[in-house]
Structure 1
Amino acid sequence: MSDQLDLFCNATRIAEGRLSAPPSLPVGSPATPTLVILPFPMKARIGNIRDVATKLIATKSVPHAESYRALVTEGLIVHLRSKRVAAELHAAEVHRFWQAVDIEIVRRLDSGRRPGGGAA
């Protein structure tokens, strides 16, 4: 708590001109802090997950489902690139999305088997 208070007090003093700001570090120096972009997690895009699950359940053949899956995967990667998400995060985010889709498909198929419907 004391450290946070010191930071706040120093920021106030800098803003008031009573304390000079520390010099900026050159870009790329080892001490330069890095920024990691944390995207809105793909696994939390419930509307998109439900839409994809619905379409996959409705596919008539395995090749059609595989084609649709490839199309959606490419769309997800294009979206992540457009948001400038680091390339090393793409595979993990897409994997989490497909895990969520698989869970949604199982949930939907399982709810039809329960006696009295899926209102459990």
Structure 2
Amino acid sequence: EFWAYTQCVIVQHLVGGILCLPAILNLGPQSIASSLACLGILNEMGYEISDTIGLLYTRFLSPDGKEKVPDAMLAILIVHHSMTTILGLPLVLSYGDNKSVHWLCFNLQAAAAIALSGP
């Protein structure tokens, strides 16, 4: 079950990072490339919200929730997921056409996909 979940997380991060490539490589019209990069950011934001809800559901509504999601893991993942959840939409609305934001999104998502793919 955990292996399948990890594979989905890897694919999600790859897709989010790939959506940023046209903007950082100057491929196609800039408006479309920036929109795709913003979609990559929103894709990550949606995943973070979904995963947080899943963690909270498992932790508090499953009979063995405290074993599956211990207190330390819950705290770390809440802090981890909060960055994109809090910053994603303001970044898209205020800096959606900023190449540095596109690079940041690509770098973070590519790093996550590579790190999760390792041994």
TM-score with structure 2 length normalisation?
Answer: 0.37
Q: Which has the higher helix share?
A: 2
Structure showing greater radius of gyration is 1
